[in-house]
Structure 1
Amino acid sequence: MTKTVTKPGTTAETPFRRAVESREERSFLVRAGRADHTRVRLSGYDLLTGPWYTPLTFFYRQTLDGAELRASLARTLRHYPPLAGRLTRDRSGGLSVLCNDAGVRFTEAVSAEPMREYGPGLRTEPVIGNLLREVSAFRVVDRDTPLLKVRLTQMRGGGSILGVMINHSLADGGNTVAFLENWSREHRGLSYPEPSHDRGALDALGRKSADPVTVASRAFIGVSRLRLLTTNIKAGLHKLATVATRFEAAELAAMKRAALDQLAGDGSWVSTNDVLTAHLWQVFGELRDRSDDAAEWLGMIVGAQSRLGAELPAGYWGNCVSNSWTGTTTARLRTRPLGRVAQDVRACLDANTADKLRDEIAFLGSYRRAGVSRHVMSVRAPDVSDTALTVNNWSQFPLYDIDLGAGKPFWYEFPDLPVPTVHIAPTPTGDGGRDVYLCLQREHAAMVREPHWLERLHAYGKLPEGAVPGAVPAVE
């Protein structure tokens, strides 16, 4: 254990988030207590993300016990040796994780502030304090940099904020939440399925498709280093901010009824999330106010594990996420019935067949073997900042089941992302509603909070609590 004192972990106040001041008091290195020094050679899907970190923050009304958390985390790490390992570059240019039990960082901090009623109308930085600013993708590979970092902040008067950051090259969002759920079960003495870290099992599924349509619709392409660099620079020029809003269950039911009425008689089926996604895409198309003939792209992030089914080992743990795109013009997006746009969303999701995913695995594997995985990017990467919107649906994830000895969280915080994204999450009560995080260019995020656009977003229900027509919602 080391004892340190740092400057308060504050950030500049913005109209979108309220900074929480905290002071780091103790920092620990948590280890599993055993290591086999094997190497887990990361897959093509793993290498798509780069060694960035995914931050998630959970808010608890009761106080968490740091010592007990570290003990249960150490036990959980025995089932997740990559998390306690270190990233290293292969001779081929790819990445592997050395499972050497070098440990994860666990920081305890205190705040002079009381726990507030965080939620869609009052948000704070993901991972309180300096932790988010301490990580950099450029200081991870071939360094003694933990791949999992945890920060526990104890609030004045009770309550805790738990920030967790996992290096994205190890796991996608679904598997990150699966780790947290298993940590929760370990902490409470419950059993859970053994995760599989066998990337070879995923690579073995790769098979180039014989269907030219499937090949032509690949989600990823190989590009030159210069094109990749210019695309990343272009995306980085845009300042983004995230606005959260809650769609109540009754509001979603009314929205879905309206969509299904438009599809009556043709035998079509669309889900609640399809309809919500279609509605958000239409509102966003109106918000950007582009010319009628401008292209509008919608990207759907899709978990591949469910589509590959039993072909992957049970409990496969890593990155296993693909995406697909559907497009139209601004004028058509605005004028089409909601139900028809929802059909487009459903068709986009259904395009992720096992054949398409196998072809994708083979394509990414070929770049992995050639040592040029860093030259792969999404086919729509050049468009994401100006003409596209990406949707990431976590509504079925057990985000509010992460009980670590002090009950379930009452809120979780999602980070700003580098591209315009819609993140759909469950509500804390699990009542069938949805919390939606809209990560947009700053000017569009500010507009979404204006009365006209709030009313447009919630045209099928009531305005969120605290939203007053005629006034922009205030942040404490």
Structure 2
Amino acid sequence: MTTSRKRAGSPEAAPFRRTVESREVRSYVVRAGTADAPPRRIRLSGYDLLTGSWYTPMTFFYRDTLDGAELRASLARTLRRYPPLSGRLVRDPAGSGGGLSVLCDDAGVRFTEAESPEPMREYGPSVRAEPVIGGLLREVSAFRVIDRDTPLLKIRLTQLRGGGSVLGVMINHSLADGGNTVAFLENWSREHRGLPWPGPAPDHDRTALDALGELSTDPATVAARAFTGVSRLRLLRTNLRAGLHRLATVTTRFGAAELAALKREAQTGLTGADAWVSTNDALTAHLWQLYAGLRARPADAPEWLGLIVGAQPRLGPGALPAGYWGNCVTNSWTGTTAGALRGAPLGGVAQDVRSCLEANTADKLRDEIAYLNSYRRSGVSRHVMSVRAPDVSETSLTVNNWSQFPLYGIDLGAGKPFWYEFPDLPVPTAHIAPTPAQDGGRDVHLCLPVQHAARLRDDPAWQARLHPFPGAPVPSAAPGD
């Protein structure tokens, strides 16, 4: 579905996403067929509880048609090693210190099959679809999950006219972070094709993570904590404030040659032992500077960059079981003023990004685990939020780097997907993903206030600033233009 173009640069000039019409044909409950008696309870960690009971939707587009019956059979086999996914979320009993657990009772996963009268299109950065085809997001409310018979994993398989399939996957975020969600999908893919699973079996016991908690004795670490406890009223105000902003996503592709040029630009002028920055450091710095220019805040206004960082490798070898499966992600922040950010050389900003990443030491993470566990023991985990949450929509850009995840390796019997969609997020975010060709390039999903997203998509001057090197690709116009 498309709309006609209006005034150039208008937020309503053209749709950011294409709606794919579909109708549900049938629905199944998929179970592993195994469960302990009585069912095992897995108590969620402080990192798990940070996410709330929201769902993370991902959508994969396949040129060939997936077989629903075969998918359900392989999914049931895969669930035998992922009992939380077919369980239910329950509140811990009074007197246990508060928190949530997963009851691994094999109550089941919902698997929906649907049909669309539309053909498969050439989805990609210039033609985008809703993150989950159909009303899947509306079917699962985060407020109707705890202590209810609500599936924690939902799958929607949509068959398109003339061939091709769209696979929508929604996992309750309290169970797993992005890396572990993709690890589950990769294992499902291998199970479906009769291949051995790579690496160790998934380990769902959160006590290993809880045991690592130890409050830091370093005042600088304590002062720089990424999370803070707030009152119920402040939490409500923060959530309501975030909900007032309209955001949309512009997706663009950076080729490997363009990324190499960005890195060379960042390295120019850097000397000494700390001169090295990674390709992702340079890309992140470029995106942060671009957004600071796009929203043009006063020179003395604060600008913050938030990095979402996998904690497991930074806790040190052997700190957690190799197959640990859950949420194990932290964040860290670096800041400056808008004027300084806009005028800084790319290399200096890239070094700030590198320093922000390296600030996630084992001491910082152990302190964080202990801090979050203290709120769980007090029964007020829901009152913990990011230190930047109150002003995140106005002052910051959050970067979530999935470029090393095998998103385009999820082969479920019909070849690898040719495109992957990620949802719009509630705060300004740069989501970095690999390209379908897995050629060293990056697809960047920039979720920004709608007026900024429209300007970045429609204004040639801003497209040129997004891709500053000759021969670089630029965002195409919206679908139907």
| TM-score, normalisation: structure 1 | 0.95
Conservation of the 8 A alpha-carbon contact between 2:281 and 2:350? yes
The answer on 1:293 being equivalent to 2:300 is yes
| Alpha-carbon distance change, 202 to 157 in structure 1, aligned in 2, over 3 angstroms | same
The one-letter code of the counterpart of 2:402 is W
The answer on 1:54 being equivalent to 2:56 is yes
Cα distance per residue 1:181-221 (max 9 Å; x no partner) = 01001111112231000100000000011111011111100
Quote how far apart the aligned CAs of 1:466 are. Answer: 7.2
The answer on 1:121 being equivalent to 2:123 is no
* Separation in structure 1 between the aligned mates of residue 181 and residue 165 of structure 2, nearest angstrom: 20
* Separation in structure 1 between the aligned mates of residue 252 and residue 480 of structure 2, nearest angstrom: 13
Conservation of the 8 A alpha-carbon contact between 1:17 and 1:475? no
* Separation in structure 2 between the aligned mates of residue 179 and residue 206 of structure 1, nearest angstrom: 26
Cα distance per residue 1:48-68 (max 9 Å; x no partner) = 000000000000011100000
2:414 aligns with 406
1:252 aligns with 259
- Which structure's relative contact order is higher, taking Cα pairs within 8 Å and 6+ residues apart? 2
* Separation in structure 2 between the aligned mates of residue 267 and residue 349 of structure 1, nearest angstrom: 14
The one-letter code of the counterpart of 1:413 is E
1:42 aligns with 44
* Separation in structure 1 between the aligned mates of residue 480 and residue 328 of structure 2, nearest angstrom: 37
1:456 aligns with 465
2:8 aligns with none
Where do 4+ consecutive residues of structure 1 move more than 3 Å? 264-267, 472-476
Cα distance per residue 1:230-258 (max 9 Å; x no partner) = 01111110011111000011111111111
* Separation in structure 1 between the aligned mates of residue 478 and residue 47 of structure 2, nearest angstrom: 40
The one-letter code of the counterpart of 1:139 is R
* Separation in structure 1 between the aligned mates of residue 464 and residue 191 of structure 2, nearest angstrom: 44
Cα distance per residue 1:99-119 (max 9 Å; x no partner) = 000000000011111100000
* Separation in structure 2 between the aligned mates of residue 200 and residue 190 of structure 1, nearest angstrom: 31
Cα distance per residue 1:338-387 (max 9 Å; x no partner) = 00000000000000001100000000011111111011000000121000
| Aligned residue-pair number | 462
The answer on 1:425 being equivalent to 2:427 is no
5 Å-filtered alignment, 1:48-447, equals 48-91=50-93, 92-192=97-197, 193-265=200-272, 267-308=274-315, 309-447=317-455
| TM-score, normalisation: structure 2 | 0.94
Quote how far apart the aligned CAs of 1:261 are. Answer: 1.5
| Alpha-carbon distance change, 475 to 264 in structure 1, aligned in 2, over 3 angstroms | farther
* Separation in structure 2 between the aligned mates of residue 475 and residue 244 of structure 1, nearest angstrom: 16
Once the two structures are aligned, what percentage of the paired residues are identical? 76
The one-letter code of the counterpart of 1:99 is C
The answer on 1:29 being equivalent to 2:37 is no
* Separation in structure 2 between the aligned mates of residue 393 and residue 126 of structure 1, nearest angstrom: 18
Conservation of the 8 A alpha-carbon contact between 2:128 and 2:479? no
Q: Superposition RMSD on alpha carbons, in Å?
A: 1.5
| Alpha-carbon distance change, 339 to 13 in structure 1, aligned in 2, over 3 angstroms | closer
Helix, strand or coil for the counterpart of 2:268? helix
Helix, strand or coil for the counterpart of 1:385? helix
Cα distance per residue 1:40-88 (max 9 Å; x no partner) = 1000000000000000000001110000000000000000000000001
| Alpha-carbon distance change, 325 to 102 in structure 1, aligned in 2, over 3 angstroms | same
Structure 2 gaps, min length 5: 2-11
Conservation of the 8 A alpha-carbon contact between 1:250 and 1:461? no
The one-letter code of the counterpart of 2:355 is A
* Separation in structure 2 between the aligned mates of residue 348 and residue 229 of structure 1, nearest angstrom: 29
The one-letter code of the counterpart of 2:288 is W
Structure 1 gaps, min length 5: 1-7
The one-letter code of the counterpart of 2:29 is L
